[in-house]
């Protein structure tokens, strides 16, 4: 291990503490946050579900709409669906390359948005997770303006989380916090490892 | 909305389906995956906790070691700690810029690694989440070789997830899947919004 001088370390950390405290003091607004998790890397949906768990840990009420249901049964649905304080809707009928029927995909997405829209206008929901919404927007299954209007008009203290690749530019502009997930390496694609329960499924 | 020809759409999706199926067939290995979630963007820890939820949804047994305990009480701890099939350890005593005592930080990290090491040698754990381990490695509170040896020697079917900024190069090389989270925008830093329950806390 490289040697680190304990005194110098303590000094650096004291400076860092001061900067962190100043930043925390400057950040004094409480508000619902619109968070977008996008990019090709692994972890977008799981991150949304992790925040859901965190919110439930604080006794908050959460809503979930999954816009794309995977071909597989998913662990997150089994886990969250029947918990108290959770309203859970799975609206997609499989990946669009499985349905191969655009009209049906549009109808399914619109029905899903009706549910999302109701949650986004109900202040009793502290957090709403719109899982894989970006995919529905990418394929233009939903009207982007309507989606943005509903997100913007939501209760001031409500958090909304949107996941999926290809977040549209206008959604990124509206959002408060945006993370782009970059693939550095992927076992499934690079190394012939099958999607694993608990990780992908 | 832009018009999309339904027939062309169906054709494109059929091709995509064939490619996806070929890829799934080619990926035929079942194995425990070592996953690293790093980078400055928001969502690393929450993604790890989302995978934990997913694993629990499949009836798997999981272990968690948090290497840095935040200054705040965290929702994920409240949520996961008392669930069945979860062993949960919080080993840090606050951010290092709060303790300002390198010797104590090293001892705390080493004690945390003892717990992690035990989980990583116990095949009854299907998934082990090492939250913010990268921070402990970054400050050289732990011996990197020991950490890599223990990760590599773990049971073949066990998944391990490592989170935190600044993942060391050697860990990235060992890992099967690595995601780097990039900040596109951050409410807390850019817009004076305080860390929010359920999102950050």
pLDDT tens figures, B161-187: 999 999 999 999 999 999 999 999 877
Query: Is residue B14 one of the residues assigned to a domain?
Result: no
CATH number at residue A147: 3.40.50.300
Residues from chain B contacting residue A2 (CB–CB below 8 Å)? 140
Query: Is residue B108 one of the residues assigned to a domain?
Result: yes
Number of alpha carbons in the 13 Å side-chain half-sphere of residue B137: 22
- Nearest-Cα distance to chain A for B51, in Å, is 6
The stretch A191-195 carries a mean pLDDT of 67
User: Dmax over Cα atoms in chain A, in whole Å?
Assistant: 67
Query: Is residue A71 one of the residues assigned to a domain?
Result: yes
- Nearest-Cα distance to chain A for B163, in Å, is 11
Q: Which domain holds residue A163?
A: 31-190
Query: Is residue A17 one of the residues assigned to a domain?
Result: no
Whether B79 and A98 lie within 8 Å, measured CB to CB: no
Whether B194 and A28 lie within 8 Å, measured CB to CB: yes
pLDDT band at residue B53 using 50, 70 and 90 as cut-offs: very high
Please tell me which residue, B5 or B97, carries the higher pLDDT value. B5
- Choice among A129-133, B17-21, B116-120, B140-144 with the minimum mean pLDDT: B17-21
The stretch B68-78 carries a mean pLDDT of 72
Query: Is residue A2 one of the residues assigned to a domain?
Result: no
User: Which of A36, A189, A197 has the CB atom closest to B58's CB atom?
Assistant: A197
Query: Is residue B148 one of the residues assigned to a domain?
Result: yes
- Nearest-Cα distance to chain B for A173, in Å, is 9
Highest averaged pLDDT of the listed ranges A79-88, B18-27, B181-190:
A79-88
Whether B29 and A193 lie within 8 Å, measured CB to CB: yes
User: Which of B1, B54, B175 has the CB atom closest to A140's CB atom?
Assistant: B1
Query: Is residue B10 one of the residues assigned to a domain?
Result: no
- Nearest-Cα distance to chain B for A159, in Å, is 8
pLDDT tens figures, A93-109: 655 556 678 888 888 89
User: Which of B101, B177, B199 has the CB atom closest to A10's CB atom?
Assistant: B101
State which H helix or E strand residue B23 sits in. helix B6-26
Query: Is residue B85 one of the residues assigned to a domain?
Result: yes
Please tell me which residue, B35 or A194, carries the higher pLDDT value. B35
Runs of H (alpha helix) within A27-153: 44-57, 75-80, 96-99, 102-120, 133-138, 144-152
A193 - beta bridge partners?
B29
B146, B171 Cβ separation under 8 angstroms: no
User: Which of A10, A31, A47 has the CB atom closest to B46's CB atom?
Assistant: A47
Query: d(Cα B131, Cα B83) in Å, to the nearest integer?
Result: 18
User: Total domain count for chain A?
Assistant: 1
pLDDT band at residue B44 using 50, 70 and 90 as cut-offs: very high
**Residue A38, both tokens:** 């996008």
Please tell me which residue, A72 or A54, carries the higher pLDDT value. A54
Whether A79 and B97 lie within 8 Å, measured CB to CB: no
């Amino acid at each position: 291990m490289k040697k680190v001088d304990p005194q110098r370390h303590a000094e650096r950390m004291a400076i860092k503490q001061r900067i962190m405290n100043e930043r925390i003091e400057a950040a004094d607004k409480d508000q619902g946050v619109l968070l977008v998790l996008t990019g090709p890397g692994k972890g977008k949906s799981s991150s949304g579900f992790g925040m859901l768990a965190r919110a439930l840990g604080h006794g908050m009420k959460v809503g979930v709409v999954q816009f794309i249901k995977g071909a597989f049964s998913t662990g997150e649905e089994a886990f969250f669906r029947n918990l108290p304080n959770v309203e859970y809707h799975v609206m997609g009928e499989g990946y669009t390359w499985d349905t191969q029927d655009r009209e049906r995909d549009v109808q399914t997405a619109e029905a899903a948005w009706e549910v999302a829209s109701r949650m986004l206008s109900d202040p009793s929901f502290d957090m709403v997770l719109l899982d894989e919404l970006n995919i529905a927007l990418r394929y233009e299954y939903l009207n982007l303006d309507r989606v943005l209007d509903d997100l913007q008009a939501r209760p001031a203290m409500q958090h909304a989380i949107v996941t999926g690749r290809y977040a549209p530019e206008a959604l990124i502009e509206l959002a408060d916090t945006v993370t782009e997930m970059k693939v550095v390496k992927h076992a499934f694609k690079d190394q012939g490892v099958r999607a694993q329960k608990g990780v992908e499924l």
